[in-house]
Amino acid sequence: MDKATVYPLIGIPSRSDQTSRSGTPIFAQNRTYVEAVTKAGGAPVLTPPNLDERALRAIYERLDGLLLAGGGDLHPKHYGEAIHEKCGQSDEARDVVELTLARWSLAEGLPVLGICRGIQVLNVAAGGTLYQDIASQVPGSLKHDCWPDYPRKYLAHQVTVSGDSQLAAILGQSQVAVNSMHHQAVKDLAPGFRVVARAPDGLIEAIEDHDHPFALGVQWHPEELAEDAPPMRRLFEDFVSAARRWGNESAR
């Protein structure tokens, strides 16, 4: 007999790092993502970035949801562009793992939430492109790269949310103040996605796929705000609920 999914497994791909005390290479992820998922009723599973496709698929098939976290820049070859001088260093293994997981999730209906780099991974996985550096490629843009000059919870700008979107229903408001720690952004929107939030300078701050049970990307960092802001907490609660439904409805 199938067991009901109470605590849906939420995969959170990790990044390569070298900040362990010994200097040994490690895989890591920010605690705020893990804590936001846990508080929303999910069971977070950190996954390594150096897996071959068979091992990755074995993990994916046991997940009920996928959270694509923030991080460094995707290599622009993944959207067919030469590297811009202001594009940051990329991590090929992480790029491949996250793009693969994103493509599977989008094609098969696994609930997926993309945050910061994560919205960019979703857009590129589905065939879209990115601004490699907002400040040098978008004349008149606001300052979106507020970290490390400002705290991670610093509310840098408003976003206007489309009234008929899933995001507006979750947040319960059409204007919301957000933090902003990105120097890249969605440029050409991928087929299948809709823009559902923009910054005052017109930059894309959220996208959704309405033909998917839950595929949402936000350019800000709700995991840093969830403790103090109920609308940001609801983002994780709705995502985890969608993952729980997936776990209960998908054939196992």
List interacting residues with Mn ion (CB under 5 A). 144, 180
| CB closer to Mn ion out of 25 and 202 | 202
State the minimum distance, in angstroms, from the CB of residue 182 to Mn ion: 6
State the minimum distance, in angstroms, from the CB of residue 86 to Mn ion: 17
How far apart CA 75 and CA 91 sit, in angstroms, is 8
How far apart CA 108 and CA 89 sit, in angstroms, is 31
Spatial CB neighbours of 182, under 8 Å, sequence gap ≥ 6: 70, 116, 117, 134, 144, 145, 219
Question: And the tokens for 193?
Answer: 């996605």
Sort strands 65-68 and 204-208 into parallel, antiparallel or unpaired. Answer: unpaired
| CB closer to Mn ion out of 6 and 177 | 177
| CB closer to Mn ion out of 96 and 206 | 206
Give the SS3 label for residue 150: coil
Given the residues 116, 157, 205, 208, the one annotated as active site: 116
Give the residue closest to Mn ion by C-beta: 180
| CB closer to Mn ion out of 106 and 206 | 206
Question: And the tokens for 228?
Answer: 């103090």
Helices (H), 17-133: 31-39, 53-60, 92-108, 117-125
| CB-based contact 157:175 (threshold 8 Å) | no
State the minimum distance, in angstroms, from the CB of residue 75 to Mn ion: 22
Please say if 221 is a catalytic residue. Answer: yes
| CB closer to Mn ion out of 45 and 235 | 235
Residue type (1 letter), 26:
I
Question: And the tokens for 199?
Answer: 């910054």
Please say if 87 is a catalytic residue. Answer: no
How far apart CA 164 and CA 210 sit, in angstroms, is 11
| Residue (of 88, 49, 53) closest to 69 by Cα position | 49
Please say if 223 is a catalytic residue. Answer: yes
Given the residues 98, 205, 208, 223, the one annotated as active site: 223
State the minimum distance, in angstroms, from the CB of residue 157 to Mn ion: 6
State the minimum distance, in angstroms, from the CB of residue 180 to Mn ion: 3
Residues marked active site are found at: 116, 221, 223
